[in-house]
Structure 1
Amino acid sequence: MATGFDAGKITPEETTRKASATNKKAEKREIAKAKILNATLDIIAKKGLAALSHRSIASAAGVQLAMTTYYFGTIDNILVAAFREFVKSMEPVNADLIRRGDAFLAQLQGADGTVKDCERYIEGIADIFAQMIDSGLSSRRDQLRIESQYLFEQHPSEALAEEIQAYNDWLADIALRFIRPIGAQDPELDAQLFLWTVQCLDFSNVSSVQVKGPSSRDVLLRLMRGFCV
C-alpha cells in the first residue's frame, strides 16, 4: 500500500509505459499520414488532381474515411502536404544534376574561374540534361505527371500557390547555376529560358500527344549556343 507521501506519485515504470504508449500513438499517426500523402501522390500521378476526394484518398490509402479530415482537415491542406513530399522526392534528382554539373565545370575552369571551352561546356550540360529527360524511368515519369499537375493547377489555394512559387524559384536557381558559366549578358533570363525548355521537353514525355522533332540534346544545344551570341 502506498504511504500518504507516495500516494498520487507517478513511478518510473508508469512513466516508461506512458512514454511508450505515446510514442506508439505518434508512430501510428505518422504512418497513417504517410499513407494518405503517398496515396494522394499516386492518384495525382495516375488520374490527375481532378480525381482527388477524401473518399478516393482514404480508399487508396487503406484508412478510414474520417482520418483524412482528422489529420489534414481539407483537400487543400492535403494538396499542400503532398506537394511538400513531392519536393522532397525531387531533392536527390536535382542534387545529382548539380553534382554532375559541378564536376564537369571543374574540368573546364581556368585559374580565374572562367570556362576555357564554352562549346565543350555547353555540349556537356546538354548531355547531362538530355540523359535525364530521355531516361524513361517509370519513377521519373510519375514525378513528371505529379509536377505538371501541380504547376498547371488553375485554382490553387494561396498556401499551395506559395509552395509552387518557392519550388519554381528553387528550379530557377538551379538553372542559373548551369547557365551562368556560359558568360552571357543576361544569365537570369537565359536560365529561365533554359528551365522552361527543359520542362517542356520533360513534360512531353508524359503528354498524350507526343512531340516529334529534334532530340532533346539538339534542342538544348541550339538554345544554349544562342546565349553566346
Structure 2
Amino acid sequence: MSGKGGSAPHPTTYSPSPQNQKRPKSLIFKDNVDWVRPDGRGFQHCRPAFLRTGAVNAASGSAYAEFGNTKVIVSVFGPRESKKAQMYSDIGRLNCNVSYTTFATPVRGQGADHKEFSSVLHKALEGAIILESFPKTTVDVFALVLESGGSDLPVVISCASLALADAGIRMYDLVTSVSVSCLGKNLVIDPIFEEENCQDGSLIIACMPSRNEVTQLTITGEWSTPKIHEAMQLCLDACAKLGMVMRSCLKETASSQE
C-alpha cells in the first residue's frame, strides 16, 4: 500500500487469528483431510494485500487493490448535480457499477453477474456513507476488475471504500470485506479462484470495523449454525485487521501531500 506519488512498499499480509495452524502434508482437495491450499497459505491466512490511492487522476477519488492475483481499480466521481429527471431528495444518491475486463477471467468475456455485484456493492457502502452531507447530488462509484483471482467482490467492496475516502466523501467508517469458503469440513478464508470453484458454501461479510457494524452479509450453500458462527467470526477478525491496513494507506496519502 502506498499513497499518491509514494513508493510502493512490500504488500501487507494479515490474518484473522495469530494461532499457528498445522500445515497439511499433501495436495488437494476437500475430501482429503490433509490437503494444502494451492498458494500454500494456512486455512486462516489472507493473501498479501497491496493498496494504493490516487490511481485515476481524472476521478474525484480512486484506489487500486491487489490481493494475490485479484486486481481491482475503483474510480469515484462527484458529488455532482443529480439528473433533472430524478426526484428531489434531501439526501445524496449513490450509484455503483461493477464491471470486468474481457481478459479478467480464464475464459475471455466470462465474468461474474455484474448487476448482482453492483447491487451488493451499493448495499455494502450505502450504510457507511453520510448521505445527508451531499443533498440533491450524486456520487458515482465505478469498479473494474482487471484480473479475477478469487474473492473478487470483497476486494471490490474494500477498494471502493478506500476510493470514497480518497474522494473526501464523508463516512461513518471505512467498509472492509472478507469472504470464507466451506470446503468439506474446512473453512478457508479469502479463497482464490480454484477454491471457490470447489466450495460447498460461501459467506461474505462487509462491515464497519471501528463501529462493529455489518453492512452486508451474503451466504450461499448449506451451512450448519456452528459453522456459520465460526465463519462470521473469522471474517470479522480479518475485516478489523484489513481496516488497519487501509487506514495506513490513507495516512501515507495524507503524509505525502503535506
TM-score range relative to shorter protein:
under 0.3
TM-score by length of 1: 0.28
Q: Which has the higher strand share?
A: 2
Q: Which TM-score applies when normalising by structure 2? A: 0.25
Q: Larger C-alpha radius of gyration, 1 or 2?
A: 1
Higher RCO (C-alpha 8 Å, min separation 6): 2
Q: Which has the higher helix share?
A: 1
